[in-house]
Structure 1
């Protein structure tokens, strides 16, 4: 689960001064099926890679030209949020994540293909 919001129920929450977010449109049948498929893949990735010291996935961000690191749990929570028609919550990565303990999504797909080809 995601950590609790440290400003929950705080009348001086800095986020309370932001504009309300756009309403999240419902997922199409195809989008929902794709997220469910990705969630199943994520569970397999974690099952096969966590015990090998892999903490999660990283993605290259075009906007800031840096990698973003997501633990297995954060990825799962983001997908579950989308399935519940909520915007994925903002999260903070662990302090100073070890880039050697994260792999790209495509690596996970290839790893899983190799295991299932045996």
Structure 2
């Protein structure tokens, strides 16, 4: 289904001072730095972990992870699929896809990364 016709008109349409018009192809955010081999290995390992977290914790009601944002000093909540998409984009040398987190996430359904690691470790303990 195409929702373009349902979208509001661009508030900067036909505006010569459209902020987007000042973005150039030289923008460093358009072309992320290539990963080193070590960084590539770490992102690949984290992607495998995210997939395992989703498989193990998803059925238990855990929807993703949260992190404290150093810029705004608030928690940000990321679903498993958003985390995986961001990591895949990084591995492909692309910018992470634009996503909008839930306006009112169920904060009880998100846990810290270290909790996820500990949970998997606990499952493997004998």
> Where does the alignment leave 5 or more consecutive residues of structure 2 unmatched?
none
Matching residue of 1:89: 97
Structure 2 match to 1:98 = 106
Which deviates the most, 89-98 or 34-43? 89-98
1:109 counterpart residue number: 117
Quick one: higher RCO (CA 8 Å, sep 6+), 1 or 2? 1
Q: Which residue of 2 aligns with 1:36?
A: 44
Call closer, same or farther: CA 1:18–1:40 in 2, change over 3 Å.
farther
Give the distance between the partners of 1:48 and 1:17, measured in 2 at CA.
Answer: 45
Q: How many aligned residue pairs are there?
A: 110
Partner Cα distance (1:92, 1:15) in 2:
21
TM-score by length of 2: 0.78
**Structure 1 residue ranges without an equivalent (≥5):** 1-5
TM-score by length of 1: 0.83
- Matched with 1:19 is 23
Question: Alpha-carbon deviation of 1:49?
Answer: 0.4
Q: Is 1:69 aligned to 2:87, yes or no?
A: no
